[in-house]
Structure 1
Amino acid sequence: MVKPTLHYTEDPSYKTLKRISSLMDEAVRIPGTKLSFGLDPIIGIIPGVGDTLSIIISGISLYTVARNGIPARLIMAMTFNLIIDYLVGLIPGVGDFIDFFYKANRNNTQLLIKYYEKNPEAINNVQKSSTGLIIFASLMFLIILGVVGVCFYFIKLAIVQTFNLQ
């Protein structure tokens, strides 16, 4: 019995990624322009917390993609997009401005679409796989741990220099 060919738009990971992309990057269109923005630059205004919340929301889509057996190299590329968005978003003022133009979730959606267009049979082979999820979770944990560690180092350095504690 031949399995019917599905379209990538029927993939649960694509649907989740598309919803989150719309919410975070394209929810509001600026009238009279082709520009749009979502919650990402808005919640990113809250220093540190907003960008962390944003990457957690975006991480939901990556979790879904990883769980559905998408190749690890694609998950790593998508993770890289989110990490860049997170790190740039941590820069006060500048990061919030750049968030209006760098749309990591939309980029990730395009990566997934390109993958399915090059590998149309992949939609029929979606399996529950934890390999991609483990890679994704490990990378995210290490990057966020590193960013938090660097932040604490600079805070400690500022306190030491301010109060001449040596």
Structure 2
Amino acid sequence: MPISQEQFAHIAKDLSGMGNDPRAVRMRVEALEKVLERAFHIPGTKIPVGLDTVIGLVPVLGDLVTAAMGAYIVWEGRNLGMSKWQLLRMSANIGIDTAIGAVPFLGDAFDLVWRSNTKNLKIIRKHLDKHHPSTRIIER
């Protein structure tokens, strides 16, 4: 049984992280960054890795997939009304990650160090803290 757009909007409004408000955007971006950069640790170490590193092991295609996922974070930033300079910086972070990440072996090691999604999350957090202070979350 299909539901109307209005019914969907009402249901989505009640779900945490599903709205278009800055707090929901922050929750989505933070969750995606965690999945892409810090989903688990390399066994025997404290080095966090995520899908960006794992999927990046697949030559070229893996880097394109993770670039698209990172571009979603930039898109969310655009929807928040971030400046063109901030969006350009975020896009450059993804571009560097994708370009160097496409180089076999070197790119895989680079993904462990250059965490473009974490850098982009910091840019978004700074914007949200300045323009939408009610979205602040006390870090544990």
- Taking structure 2 as the reference length, the TM-score comes to 0.72
| AA matched with 1:36 | P
- Render the CA deviation track for 1:36-91: whole Å, top value 9, x for unaligned: 01011111111110000010111112111112212221111111111110011011
Q: Do the aligned residues in 1 keep the contact of 2:53 with 2:112 (CA within 8 Å)?
A: yes
Cα distance in 1 between the residues matched to 2:125 and 2:79: 17
Equivalent in the alignment of 2:132: 123
Contact kept, 8 Å, 1:44 with 1:89, in 2: the verdict is yes
CA distance in 2, matches of 1:93, 1:31: 20
State yes or no: 1:19 paired with 2:31: yes
Q: Which amino acid aligns with 1:71?
A: S
Whether the aligned pair in 1 keeps the contact of 2:73 and 2:120 (CA below 8 Å) is no
1:69 aligned to which of 81, 91, 116:
81
Kindly report the root-mean-square deviation, in angstroms, between the aligned alpha carbons of the 2 structures: 2.0
Residue type of the alignment partner of 2:108: D
Which runs of 5 or more structure 1 residues have no equivalent in the other structure? 1-9, 125-166
Contact 1:27 1:38 in 2 (8 A): yes
C-alpha offsets along residues 98-148 of structure 1, whole Å, 9 cap, x if unaligned?
10121110111111222334x2xx127xxxxxxxxxxxxxxxxxxxxxxxx
CA contact (8 A) 2:55 2:63 kept: yes
Structure 1 residue 32: deviation in Å? 5.9
- C-alpha distance in structure 2 between counterparts of 1:116 and 1:103, whole Å: 20
Q: Does structure 2 retain, via aligned residues, the 8 Å contact 1:21–1:106?
A: yes
Counterpart mapping for 1:14-163 below 5 A? 14-30=26-42, 33-117=45-129, 119=130, 122-123=131-132
The corresponding residue for 1:136 is none
Residue segments in structure 2 that go unaligned for 5+ positions in a row: 1-21, 134-140
Which 4+ runs in 1 deviate beyond 6 A? none
Q: How many residues are aligned here?
A: 113
- For CA contacts below 8 A with separation 6 or more, give which structure has more relative contact order: 1
In 1, the alpha carbon distance for the partners of 2:77 and 2:25 equals: 5
CA distance in 1, matches of 2:63, 2:71: 12
Identity percentage of aligned residues: 24
Shift of 1:33: 4.3
Q: Report the alpha carbon displacement of residue 31 of structure 1 after superposing the two structures with TM.
A: 5.4
